[in-house]
Amino acid sequence: MADTVAGFGRFVAYVSVAAALIGCERLPPPPGDSRSPDKPVLIALVGPPAGAPERAGIEGGVRQFFRRFPLFRLQAVAPPDGSSDALLETVGQILSGKPRVVCLYVADARAARPAAEQILNSGAALVTLGYESIDGAFGHVQVDLTGGAELLGSRLTEIAGGKRSYILLHRSGASRVATNCYHRFMQQAREQYRLKLLEQRNAHQARRPAPELLKTLFARFRHVGLAVTLDPTPWLSANPEELGGHEARFATLCAAPALWPALRDGQAAALVGPLDGRVGALAAELAVLAATQSEPDGSGRVVACELVTAATLPDFARRYAEQAGLDLDALLPPAPLPTTRPDARPEP
């Protein structure tokens, strides 16, 4: 029964995504419509936090969408982190400008709820985007990260490329989404009979930083085929070679541009994540709807995660740049040419 319900949920998510992509979702009123504003409207975007790998893509998607609606003005602010205090302080600053709608990035509903209540109490409309929704929001854009974890687990044998073992680093317990990602991944990974899980560590419960945990695992299992992380933090904070040597290969939940060079150069075997610009564009769409009608309609959008490999990276990168309105060459510069010694002789 549980499998049936989960399967139906995934079906609904896929149908929602397909409908959005082909234009079946209700669109905001075009310029000149009676519901379209006749004077500038301020829309605020709070988050993702400064330094988050998905931030540029999400903000780019929002800005690209608003180019179609010149009377909408965007104020985008990145809180220093995703903590409740940081979100409250940032939202307090934003509300002083009296925005009509605030788009709030939510990675953890427990941390974001006080800021969301502050927005709702101010009279501004609230649109949420990210991994969890919050009651009272006009609408929500859901990044299906748990579906991405399930996808990663189901394709693990293929990703490992003939290797027979892997190690796992997760953050179960850190948030509801982190816990669900772990369980959904393991549900699929247990079916990968050709792969052996050598050891797993919970970075949320550990007393050491995630990169140190990975170093310990790599030192213990020097010939492990693959390192799987359900959070990209270790690979964003250190070079893979620093963690596990030049033969270390990894797969992680995140497909933001910061990790593309590792995928292109063979350090990463696979990345799993959404088109961040799509997330931003759908949030902007809901913000325009919220600004042009008085009652919340419970609108929801779902953006699925994709599996990205070195072979599919060029297409994914092109679509990512288009959705976010960003320069592809800046996101994925050409790989550096191999260096040669000045006295090296050409091969005959």
Q: Would you say residue 309 lies in a domain?
A: no
Whether residue 176 sits in one domain with residue 96: no
Task: Count how many domains the chain has.
Answer: 2
Is 104 part of a structural domain of the chain? yes
Q: Which residue has the tokens 């179960």?
A: 172
Residues 158, 231 within the same domain: yes
pTM: 0.85
Give the model's pLDDT for residue 2. Answer: 40
pLDDT for 333: 81
Q: What is the pLDDT of residue 296?
A: 62
The answer to whether residues 162 and 99 belong to one domain is no
Residue 136 contacts residue 128 (beta carbons within 8 Å):
no
DSSP string, 251-285: EEE---GGGHHHHHTTSEEEEEE--HHHHHHHHHH
Co-location of 92 and 153 in the same domain: no
Same-domain check for residues 113 and 154? no
Please state, in angstroms and rounded to a whole number, the distance separating the CA atoms of residues 97 and 144.
32
Say which CATH number the domain at 81 has.
3.40.50.2300
Q: Are 75 and 99 in contact (CB under 8 A)?
A: yes
Q: For every one of its 348 residues, what pLDDT tens digit does the chain have, with 9 covering 90 and above?
A: 444 434 434 433 433 433 433 344 455 555 444 455 678 899 999 999 999 999 999 999 999 999 988 899 999 999 999 999 999 999 999 999 999 999 999 999 999 999 999 999 999 999 999 999 999 999 999 999 999 999 999 999 999 998 999 999 999 999 999 999 999 999 999 999 899 999 999 999 988 889 899 999 998 998 899 999 999 999 998 887 778 766 779 999 999 999 999 999 999 999 999 999 999 999 999 999 999 875 666 678 999 999 999 999 999 999 999 999 999 999 988 776 555 444 444 433
* Residues 267 and 282 placed together within one structural domain of the fold: no
Structural domain including 112 reads 2-143+275-304
Angle ∠(235,221,207) on CA atoms, nearest 5: 55
- Rounded distance between C-alpha atoms, residue 186 and residue 183, angstroms: 5
In terms of domains, do 163 and 268 share one? yes
**Based on the domain organization, do 137 and 159 belong to the same domain?**
no
Together in a domain, 34 and 87 = yes
User: Is there a single domain that holds both residue 136 and residue 20?
Assistant: yes
My answer on whether 108 and 97 are in the same domain is yes
The answer to whether position 312 is within a domain reads: no
Residues 39 and 102 in one domain: yes
The verdict on residue 46 lying in a domain is yes
Give Cβ neighbours of residue 24 (< 8 Å, ≥ 6 apart): none
Residue 274, Cβ density class (10 Å: 0-12 exposed, 13-18 middle, ≥19 buried): buried
Q: Does residue 80 sit within a domain?
A: yes
CA distance 100 to 44: 8
Could you give the C-alpha distances from 118 to 95, 96, 252, 286, 304, in angstroms and in order?
9, 12, 34, 19, 30
E strand or H helix at 169: strand 165-170
Number of Cβ within a 10 Å radius of residue 243: 24
Secondary element (H or E) of residue 229: strand 226-229
Residue 328 lies in a domain: no
